Amino acid sequence: MITQLGGTRRYAQSGAEVLLNAGDTTIIDASQPWSSTCETDCVRLYLRVPRWMLENGLRSREIRPGQKIWRTTRAGAALHRLSQSLYYEARRMDNDETEASLDAYFHALAVALGRDEIFEEARTALLHHILRYIDTHLAEPTLSPVEVATAVGISLRHLHRVFSATDGTMGDYIRGRRLEQCRKDMMDSRLRARTITEIAFSWGFSDAAHFSHAFRKQFGTSPRAFRSEPRRSDEDFRGFLEKSTPHIEAQPN
């Protein structure tokens, strides 16, 4: 990715030409022949990344070199600022900060190229994958953000960024889903022989007092009091359902 910082420079590759003024950006495939000319004093900034990283960043393999990203657009202006920030701050960033900055850059690039919809679709698909994994392993006491991030092949920081699209944290979601499963089991007449503690532990809780506190906070009643009440239908229990799980707009199938 080349961002023109000063002067006007013409870039050519594979029969296509693009003229960049200060602040404009374009993409060049450095593995193929290309050329550039400038008749004035020119300053440009390169951001060199492997093609696979750019494809992952844009969530697309269809990348056409030589497209002009105008500095006069909001996305183009943001890209210009991010390029300079990466250049000046790169040596002081740790790995997580660098990854976060590149994610922001690729998002701005996707918007500038008109691919924000593709980017959002990919993020939604990843969120579905994360939620499916959580639901599949909900009963495991060791379930944690680190485990989920490793399982789906992303960094912990990226996991939390993806999950920020929901109304709560990943811990909120896991706790809410576990409490809801416990609630359902406590309403199941076929499981009357199982104790409340057994049900709680079967859904990943490892401390009876913590479970009781979380259940009361979530549903407004203790597990023992809830189980002793006359059985209710799911429809009658709608008030509890509305509070049982953090709101997730992108639910798994």
- The pLDDT, as a whole number, for residue 52 is 87
- For residue range 69-104, what is the model confidence (pLDDT) as tens digits? 888 888 888 888 888 888 888 888 887 778 778 888
Query: In the chain, what percentage of residues exceed pLDDT 70?
Result: 87
Higher-scoring residue by pLDDT: 178, 78: 178
One domain, residues 150 and 104: no
Does residue 172 share a domain with residue 62? Answer: no
Same domain for 153 and 195, yes or no, is yes
Confidence band of 120 (pLDDT split at 50, 70, 90): low
Residue 176 pLDDT > 80 = yes
pLDDT at residue 37 in the model: 92
125 shares its domain with 240: yes
**Could you tell me the CATH number of the domain that includes residue 125?**
1.10.10.60
Mean pLDDT for 163-172 is: 78
Domain edge (last residue) among 67, 91, 114? 114
pLDDT score of 25: 93
Close Cβ partners of 152 (under 8 Å, ≥ 6 residues apart) = 126, 129, 130, 133, 159
62 or 139: which carries more pLDDT confidence?
139
173 and 195 co-located in one domain? yes
Instruction: Find the helix or strand (DSSP H, E) in which 18 lies.
Output: strand 16-20
What's the whole-number mean pLDDT along residues 181-201?
A: 93
The domain boundary, picked from 90, 114, 138, lies at 114
- Rounded CA-CA distance 250/10 in Å is 44
Give me the residue label for tokens 């992303």.
154
- Same domain flag for 72 and 126: no
Picking from 114, 136, 163, the residue at the C-terminal end of a domain is 114
pTM > 0.75: yes or no: no
Q: Are both 102 and 133 inside the same structural domain?
A: no
pLDDT in tens, 215-230: 999 999 999 999 988 6
Same domain for 42 and 75: yes
Task: Give me the pLDDT at residue 124, please.
Answer: 77
pLDDT at 117 exceeding the cut of 60: no
Residue 188 and residue 151 share a domain: yes
CA distances from 85 to 35, 99, 209, 237 (A): 26, 13, 49, 52
**Which is it for strands 43-46 and 16-20: parallel, antiparallel or unpaired?**
unpaired
- Do 108 and 120 lie in one domain? The reply is no
Q: Is residue 123 domain-shared with residue 104, that is, in the same domain?
A: no
- Which of the four pLDDT bands, split at 50, 70 and 90, describes residue 26? very high
The reply to whether 129 and 151 lie within a common domain is yes
The total of structural domains in the chain comes to 2
Domain interval for residue 65: 2-114
| Degrees to nearest 5, angle at CA 63 with 58 and 66 | 120
pLDDT of residue 104: 81
